[in-house]
Amino acid sequence: MAGYLSPENVSEVTRALDLSGVFANGTLGGVLARASRLDLFGFLVIGIVSGLGGGILRDTLLQHGTPVALTDYTYIAVATAGTMLAFVADLSRHTSGWAFNLLDALALSVWAVAGAQKTLAVGLGWLPAVLLGTITAVGGGAIRDLLLARTPAVFGGTPLYATVAMLVSGVMVLCSRLGVPTVGIPAGIVVGVALRLAALTWGWRLPGSRDWRPGTMRGRGP
């Protein structure tokens, strides 16, 4: 058990999660690039920004050396592979299906877990871990959406998104505090995927300022 919970073991799992998030977000970026009818260069820009943006933001804010995406070429290769998958195969017809929603939920969750774990690994506390876990999960998508002249999903108007990333990061932090970080990894992913899929299915959103009034929630069902 001691070896299973060793820092080296957790670090390797975190890297694998980081790379899986890079691939998934690169693919999602490629899908949006196709919807915007971009050329190959546009695909690569949007896909790589989508795949690497959140991690680069996290590593820059951590100030713990050069962002790993710029020192480990595996990251750029994986982001490019995800982008090219969307370039070669037209996945846009599946964007409303369960498989695409599952990919979206997994990408959000694994990056929140990876971001929170990396923050804890450099010795920062629970609040920075939650914040940077959230930034890791939503940062690349926000930059991608701005490049495509879309309102970033993190700003609302879509089913729970950044909220899910915050909760997943919180699960990871809690399990790390309890001394079982390797339990926090699958637990955070399961919680994140379940909540994101539920939000997509039933349209759960946070209230907007134009819709909210004092007392508007009274008398409503769950």
Alpha-carbon 140 to chain mean position? 8
For residues 65, 114, 79, 69, the Cα torsion angle rounded to the nearest 10 degrees is: 0
What does the alpha-carbon distance between residue 204 and residue 167 come to, in Å, rounded to a whole number? 15
With bands split at pLDDT 50, 70 and 90, how would you rate the model's confidence at 219?
A: very low
B/e letters for 36-70, b = 16+ CB within 10 Å, e = fewer, are eebeeebbbbbbbbbbbbbbbbbbebbebeebbbe
Instruction: State residue 157's pLDDT score.
Output: 66
CB atoms within 10 A of CB 3: 7
Mean pLDDT in residue range 44-52: 95
Question: Regarding predicted confidence, which is higher, 3 or 24?
Answer: 24
Which residues lie closer than 8 Å to 124 by C-beta, 6 or more apart?
62, 132
Instruction: State residue 10's pLDDT score.
Output: 65
State pTM to two decimals: 0.83
3-state SS class at 135: helix
For residues 80, 81, 84, 86, the Cα torsion angle rounded to the nearest 10 degrees is: -110
What does the alpha-carbon distance between residue 37 and residue 29 come to, in Å, rounded to a whole number? 12
Mean pLDDT in residue range 30-57: 93
With bands split at pLDDT 50, 70 and 90, how would you rate the model's confidence at 180?
A: confident
Tens of pLDDT, residue by residue over 125-156, are 999 999 999 999 999 989 999 999 988 878 87
